[in-house]
Amino acid sequence: MTKLADGDRVRLSTGHEVTLPLVTEATAAGVVLPARYDGAASLLPDGLTPVRATAQRAAVVLLCVEYHRIGDDAMPPYNEFAVIVAATPDGRRPPLLPLLTRDVGGYIWSLPVTAEPARALGDEIWGYPKTVADITHRDDATRRETTIVEDGDRVTTVSIDWPRTWERREQIESYAVREGRLERTPVEFQGKLGATPLSGRIDVDLGDHERADTLRSLDLGSQSVLRFSLEGQITYGAGRPVER
């Protein structure tokens, strides 16, 4: 197991170097959707339990990110599409989603990006399951539309209206399995953040890729639990083991 800590300078297999914590600049649009609880649970590794969006449903996040700068321009900008299962470590009472605590975060189930250095960055430092795909963002004054095509098949097209924003800072935990060990990574958002609860101003059109089939089996709702956005900094710290 390669131990990493904040302050470390890490050289990737691609030759690119980054320093932890990694500060990025990005624009993101995201949505939290209700999903089948048993389906969401099946996507989690041992040690995590789904967070409930309602009494009967889990919560799945779709996040469409355009990175403008990575660290000290460590690599070219890239696009990203994250599928995240809201989760909390086993043994801790999983709250309903609005009752967020520091132990609630998101397990990164799928994370296609548009460049190999970006794939190596996520995989080698945090264990994120990154793959390389074609990801196109189309932005206008009202919404972001993101299309993901991988292995020649469309995964999905996601459209999210921009919510009203204000300056603020938030921190969550992301979860991933790195070198066989479940780790938690502090992720801080700072900048123009927006959020609108219980919104229907989103659209998810699933394609033919096998991951689209998995998403389809989750029976994602068309009414979002939360629609949100960010324009500013996303900072990723070093991962730490999840205590059992």
User: Is 13 part of any domain?
Assistant: no
pLDDT tens per residue, the chain (244 residues)?
A: 688 999 999 999 999 999 999 999 999 999 999 999 999 999 999 999 999 988 899 999 999 999 999 999 999 999 999 999 999 998 665 555 544 444 568 999 999 999 999 999 999 999 999 999 999 999 999 999 999 999 999 999 999 999 999 999 999 999 999 999 999 999 999 999 999 999 999 999 999 999 999 999 999 988 999 999 999 999 999 999 998 6
User: Is 58 part of any domain?
Assistant: yes
User: Is 176 part of any domain?
Assistant: yes
User: Is 3 part of any domain?
Assistant: no
Domain count for the chain, please give it.
1
User: Is 14 part of any domain?
Assistant: no
- SS3 at position 201: coil
- Return the residue matching tokens 């969401």: 40
How far is 75 from 91, CA to CA, in rounded Å?
A: 39
Determine the structural domain holding residue 236 and report its residue range: 21-241
**Which CATH number covers residue 216?**
2.40.400.10
User: Is 174 part of any domain?
Assistant: yes
Closest CA to 61 of 50, 75, 76: 50
**Alpha helix (H) ranges present in the chain?**
37-42, 116-126, 210-217
User: Is 2 part of any domain?
Assistant: no
Closest CA to 134 of 119, 123, 147: 147
User: Is 62 part of any domain?
Assistant: yes
> Is the entire prediction scored with pTM above 0.75?
yes
